[in-house]
Amino acid sequence: MGSLQLVGFVGPSVNWWALLPQIILLGAALAVLLVSALAPQRASTVFTTVTTLCAALTSFVVALGLWSDVKADGPSSSIASAFGVDGFSIFFTVLILIGLATTALLSHGYLDREEMDPPEFHALLLCSAAGAIVMASANDLIVMFLGLEALSIGIYVMIAMHHRRSEARESAIKYFVLGAFSSAFLLYGIALTYGATGSTNLVHIRSYLDAVVFQDQHLLMAAMALLLVGLSFKVAAAPFHFWAPDVYQGAPSPVTGWMASIAKAAGFAALLRIFFAAFASHDVDWAPIVGALAVITLVIGSVMAILQTDIKRMLAFSSVSHAGYVLVAVHSASATGTSAALFYLFTYTLMVLGSFAIVGAMGPDDEHPLSRYTGLGRSRPVIAIGFTVLLLAQAGIPTTSGFIAKFQVIAAAVESESYFIAGVSMVTAVIGAFMYLRIVMAMYVVDEGEEGPRPIWHWTTSVVVLAAVGFTIIVGLVPQFLIEFARDAVPVLVRG
């Protein structure tokens, strides 16, 4: 009887080519696990790192191929419109792959130093990256949720893998409990969206909302609120940011970088796809709330950052305030705003990965006092100037990518006539700058005869820092190419 039903079942057409990037990553994850399980001795760090890098590179090439397809034939979607292939998904795929390669390089020295198991770490990292790509590309809320869980579960375990440190386990539990909690919000929001619109598919939701005028839209409003809360947890927007400083501080530094950059970027990808693309016709309902969240996030992130004494906690709060800037761009609910958000996320990802690369290399993860950086400008001038560039970029000082990113965010806010929010974001930028200056000051202002630290430096860290700093300055001087990339990457919902 079961066989009879199966005969009648026609599966949706699958564009395997579009799924190839994440399939490659998952395949590499399996390969790493299999080889390490079957091989007579434990797989070496070199093997796992090289595998991950190769997977990222292959995936990257495929993504570029998809990009030229989208350029030629326009956006499309696959598997019954559940999976979108547009500039947006490829933009995030590229970003996530860059983050993946960077994190793999950073973990290389770290895993050896901290005697952690490389195959498991890399397999989880690859799964997590695949989940992030799914999340950014999903045109269906359920698929998006699956991507989110794949991303998050990988991170929970990667944090906890540092089993000799109780702080790491504490962080993992904290992140897990709050993450599960926020997932529940998100799921409830998905359920209510289904109740309000009759579908979980964003393409259907969009066309339904465009066509129907609600007499009573409480259900939809509740759905939007719950979705926003769930995703705000993921991107660490205030007042849902409380986990961020503790978890960032306790997690191994490469994982912190991964969380602060890619987990946040994927969260924003989902936010933009749901709110900007699917709920576009209801932007008068959600934009003010996003604007309020943005203001709260900016203020809390920048003010709390200057009260911290631990570098990782400082950077955690600074990443909260960066979420605020992206929210300002999302708030404007326009194509300009969305491309500003994308530009911001791209440049921010490289800044934050470079920063955490340096933080991780400066010494063990138990604590990161500011005093560890005293005199770095004299003992290791190249690292210090690199860190300075990354910090000033985060403060939004001109000739760095951070300034161009902030400029576009402010321009989007001004264009949507949100002058108050634009003003708040610039004032909080000044407050935040104080925190970055404290670190710069520690590195450069030393008393006579004081000697700086000489951290042990793995060459992979140098590669990452050099690339991040180079990218930050190049985009700061000639940003045109990235602006165009971000403009072409505004999400489009197409029935496939």
Contact set with other proteins (CB under 8 A):
377-378, 381, 392, 397-399, 403-404, 407-408, 410-411, 414-415, 419, 422-423, 426-427, 429-430, 433-434, 437-438, 440-441, 444-445, 478-480, 483-484, 487
- Which C-beta is closer to other proteins: that of 270 or that of 429? 429
Cα distances (angstroms) measured from residue 11 to each of 79, 80, 225, 296: 8, 9, 34, 46
Please report, as a single letter, which amino acid is at residue 287: A
Please report, as a single letter, which amino acid is at residue 296: I
Nearest distance from C-beta of residue 254 to other proteins, angstroms = 30
Nearest distance from C-beta of residue 377 to other proteins, angstroms = 8
- Helices 45-73 and 87-114 sit at what angle, rounded to 10 degrees? 170
Report the alpha-carbon distance of residue 95 to residue 175 in Å, rounded: 24
* SS3 call for 369: strand
Report the alpha-carbon distance of residue 268 to residue 246 in Å, rounded: 21
Nearest distance from C-beta of residue 476 to other proteins, angstroms = 9
- Which C-beta is closer to other proteins: that of 12 or that of 381? 381
- Which C-beta is closer to other proteins: that of 96 or that of 328? 328
Nearest distance from C-beta of residue 89 to other proteins, angstroms = 22
Nearest distance from C-beta of residue 381 to other proteins, angstroms = 8
- Is 375:440 a contact under the CB 8 Å cutoff? no
- Which C-beta is closer to other proteins: that of 307 or that of 478? 478
Nearest distance from C-beta of residue 378 to other proteins, angstroms = 7
* Residues 6 or more apart whose Cβ sits within 8 Å of residue 412: 328, 329, 332, 334, 336, 337, 340
- Which C-beta is closer to other proteins: that of 199 or that of 399? 399
- Which C-beta is closer to other proteins: that of 364 or that of 369? 369
- Which C-beta is closer to other proteins: that of 191 or that of 426? 426
Q: Which residues pair with 310 in a beta bridge?
A: 369
Pseudo-torsion of CA 365, 461, 309, 166, nearest 10°?
-10
- What 3 state SS string does 108-131 have? HHHHHHHCCCHHHHHHHHHHHHHH
Nearest distance from C-beta of residue 456 to other proteins, angstroms = 22
Closest CA to 494 of 89, 17, 63: 89
- Helices 283-307 and 311-331 sit at what angle, rounded to 10 degrees? 160
- Which C-beta is closer to other proteins: that of 155 or that of 404? 404
- Which C-beta is closer to other proteins: that of 195 or that of 381? 381
Nearest distance from C-beta of residue 375 to other proteins, angstroms = 12
The residue with tokens 């402010």 is: 410
- Is 486:407 a contact under the CB 8 Å cutoff? no
- Which C-beta is closer to other proteins: that of 135 or that of 443? 443
Nearest distance from C-beta of residue 448 to other proteins, angstroms = 8
Nearest distance from C-beta of residue 364 to other proteins, angstroms = 28
- Is 300:241 a contact under the CB 8 Å cutoff? yes
- DSSP characters over 236-301: T-TTS-THHHHHHHHS-HHHHHHIIIIIHHHHHHHHIIIIIIITGGGHHHHHHHHHHHHHHHHHHH
